[in-house]
Structure 1
């Protein structure tokens, strides 16, 4: 059985067996469940409690109307729910008193799904922006993902804190949008030619453009050579650039050839280094957003990651995008956006949610072996609650 499916069934079975367990699950929402029928059932159970159903305050045995009324209410919002299914949920619950732990498992699955869904959305929007030469959609999707991660951290009972994983998640090679790949390469070559031939052109881009912003690694290395010449205050032209490339070993290791470098600057006309640099920067931002989204999705699909680590690793994966974005805003003179408002109040999430979320790491005291209870429990006291309904 899928562990997540078993947890969803168990928490619903626990509430059907013991309506009082709902008071320990106020932090769990219907949309935290994966299956629509489970969402409808949990919403129905909460509605029956708010409507003052007699089973909520009644002593055991729980009346059968609690189960039938829940199925009837849920059936108004979802199709395919049979009267037999709630009883199957009851059988799937080992112990009703473990409902908060089952609910925490459901919450873990919801956190993984939410992060994966928003990461997929960021990847799609970033690739669409790359095709259209835009960045606004990718930046907006990144803000949404960051806000979701921050809210989920508080929902889980921790503080969002970017932390790098010990090993990088396995992701496939990044594939740039084919329609724009040639145009990006042409912009990079034109920019390098302008920087090499126009005196003072490096001053227009050196503060915010970095070698990593170039899609072609060879172009990035050539820009690094131009930056070194500029930093040392040496003149920049095709000869000094060729000499710097040779000193850095780019000609010896095959990264560049003298003919390639000469071809970069031959026939270059007038051009704005700032305008070309912004085009290269725009492509770098959408490319970085797509790569970050793929990393976050790979993290979310790792079921072994607990939510706290997943959220912190995902925030760390978005750090490279934040760095590129800060330089993009510097190049355009746009102020950074206001941080998204927190979903919860200043006092943080409800204490019950924090208690349940942190229960996984709370040690339970073990009595010494020499200490014996005063009296052994009776068989009826140690037996789990009855599953029957009157």
Structure 2
């Protein structure tokens, strides 16, 4: 038995049994259903309600047959293959129609996981395409789209979108190089390091926005870290001081670097613009980081045990490294980084839409029976907060 399929059938069966349940499902959209026939049926039921169908004004506990037949007719205009018997299967699959908000919450949970997975895949594909073409615009655009989707889903779920690190943290957070243009990226990094060694003052052109983690080759990143340390201390930079700094940091002892590698870089062509080469390095860093963030978000979304609130916040945290490298990329190009879309609230203002979205999926707890012990006082029902069926 598929739990998500059962939840979709149950929420539709609830509305077919009791049209008034639609009033408790305003936060649920047709696109939240996985099966096309379910999307069409829910959209048809919404349309019948908006058109003032007589079933909504009926005083009987059982809706008229026209409510079901009209829903099938309307849905058949949107999707093919819907039979007249299927609504009755939906009705029989609904244990209790008054549980419609809970069934709808399950449908929304599945939609949140599914939507985040789909947008993470698009971000990863855009990052790979940009890496192949030497661009970054596509990856940054889809990163903004994913951020906007996360904020919208947070609003629908009734939670505050904020980056929260998973506990425990992911097993790996390293940036995995994309298997495209790898030779060109490595060549740009070697050229840049050679320029930084041979040209006095070249570090001033890149030190403000280029970081060791932007290098695809970890050894190149460690060499850049050594150059940054020499620059920070105000010491001269040349092949001898770089070799000494690398030795002091243990890079030669732990085989991170070999003397031959260092000699090849220092003997390389040292002519060129450090700023231009640095831009090539950070451009490839943007696409690699975007791909890594996309994989992390997809891994989170595919964890069905992760509650929607935590999933959204963990996904926003996974996009954090991309926001950082994007800001430095914009600095390198002399353009201010655009602000990511967020849900802004005025000071001391409560988010009423989020509160309503959360409470509409909740069921107040019934007051417990009075205790049999003398002198005990039952707690009033109104004093109890509504049960939150989500995180």
Equivalence map 1:232-311=2 (5 Å): 232-311=233-312
The answer on 1:354 being equivalent to 2:358 is yes
Asked whether the 8 Å contact 2:178–2:288 carries over to 1, the reply is no
| SS of equivalent residue, structure 1 residue 179 | coil
- 2:377 corresponds to: none
* Inter-partner Cα distance in structure 1 for 2:352 and 2:130: 36
TM-fit CA distance, 1:169: 4.5
Asked whether the 8 Å contact 1:169–1:299 carries over to 2, the reply is no
* Inter-partner Cα distance in structure 1 for 2:191 and 2:31: 51
* Inter-partner Cα distance in structure 2 for 1:339 and 1:248: 38
TM-fit CA distance, 1:366: 2.8
- 2:385 corresponds to: none
Equivalence map 1:174-213=2 (5 Å): 176-213=177-214
Equivalence map 1:97-108=2 (5 Å): 97-108=98-109
* Inter-partner Cα distance in structure 2 for 1:219 and 1:123: 25
> Residues 302 and 350 of structure 1: is their aligned pair in 2 closer, same or farther, counting only changes over 3 Å?
closer
- 2:10 corresponds to: 10
> Residues 162 and 251 of structure 1: is their aligned pair in 2 closer, same or farther, counting only changes over 3 Å?
same
Q: Larger relative CO (CA 8 A, sep 6+): 1 or 2?
A: 1
| SS of equivalent residue, structure 1 residue 240 | helix
* Inter-partner Cα distance in structure 2 for 1:172 and 1:336: 24
> Residues 343 and 112 of structure 1: is their aligned pair in 2 closer, same or farther, counting only changes over 3 Å?
farther
**Which stretches in structure 2 are left out of the alignment for 5+ residues?**
374-391
> Residues 363 and 317 of structure 1: is their aligned pair in 2 closer, same or farther, counting only changes over 3 Å?
farther
> Residues 23 and 350 of structure 1: is their aligned pair in 2 closer, same or farther, counting only changes over 3 Å?
farther
Deviates most, 9-18 or 44-53: 44-53
* Inter-partner Cα distance in structure 1 for 2:365 and 2:246: 60
Pairing partner for 1:367 from 346, 366, 369: 369
The CA deviation string for residues 58-85 of structure 1, in whole angstroms up to 9 with x for no partner, is: 1222211111111111111101111111
Scaled by the length of structure 1, what TM-score is found?
0.90
* Inter-partner Cα distance in structure 2 for 1:351 and 1:176: 42
TM-fit CA distance, 1:37: 0.3
Detail structure 1 runs of 4+ shifted over 4 Å in the superposition: 169-175, 341-348, 362-365
Deviates most, 5-14 or 252-261: 252-261
Asked whether the 8 Å contact 1:21–1:97 carries over to 2, the reply is yes
* Inter-partner Cα distance in structure 2 for 1:29 and 1:344: 24
TM-fit CA distance, 1:335: 1.4
- 2:147 corresponds to: 146
Asked whether the 8 Å contact 1:160–1:312 carries over to 2, the reply is yes
Asked whether the 8 Å contact 2:155–2:354 carries over to 1, the reply is no
> Residues 174 and 335 of structure 1: is their aligned pair in 2 closer, same or farther, counting only changes over 3 Å?
closer
Equivalence map 1:15-34=2 (5 Å): 15-34=15-34
TM-fit CA distance, 1:326: 1.0
Asked whether the 8 Å contact 2:290–2:322 carries over to 1, the reply is yes
TM-fit CA distance, 1:348: 4.8
* Inter-partner Cα distance in structure 2 for 1:196 and 1:68: 79
| SS of equivalent residue, structure 1 residue 337 | coil
* Inter-partner Cα distance in structure 1 for 2:368 and 2:18: 28
Give the total of aligned pairs: 369
Equivalence map 1:306-385=2 (5 Å): 306-340=307-341, 348-349=352-353, 352-357=356-361, 359=362, 365-370=367-372
* Inter-partner Cα distance in structure 1 for 2:175 and 2:203: 29
Asked whether the 8 Å contact 1:104–1:356 carries over to 2, the reply is no
- 2:127 corresponds to: 126
Asked whether the 8 Å contact 2:55–2:63 carries over to 1, the reply is yes
- 2:90 corresponds to: 89
> Residues 337 and 155 of structure 1: is their aligned pair in 2 closer, same or farther, counting only changes over 3 Å?
same
* Inter-partner Cα distance in structure 2 for 1:180 and 1:254: 26
Asked whether the 8 Å contact 1:184–1:280 carries over to 2, the reply is yes
> Residues 170 and 244 of structure 1: is their aligned pair in 2 closer, same or farther, counting only changes over 3 Å?
closer
TM-fit CA distance, 1:369: 4.5
TM-fit CA distance, 1:344: 11
- 1:65 corresponds to: 66
Structure 1 vs Structure 2 CA RMSD: 2.2
TM-fit CA distance, 1:175: 5.4
* Inter-partner Cα distance in structure 2 for 1:179 and 1:161: 33
| SS of equivalent residue, structure 1 residue 366 | coil
* Inter-partner Cα distance in structure 1 for 2:6 and 2:316: 30
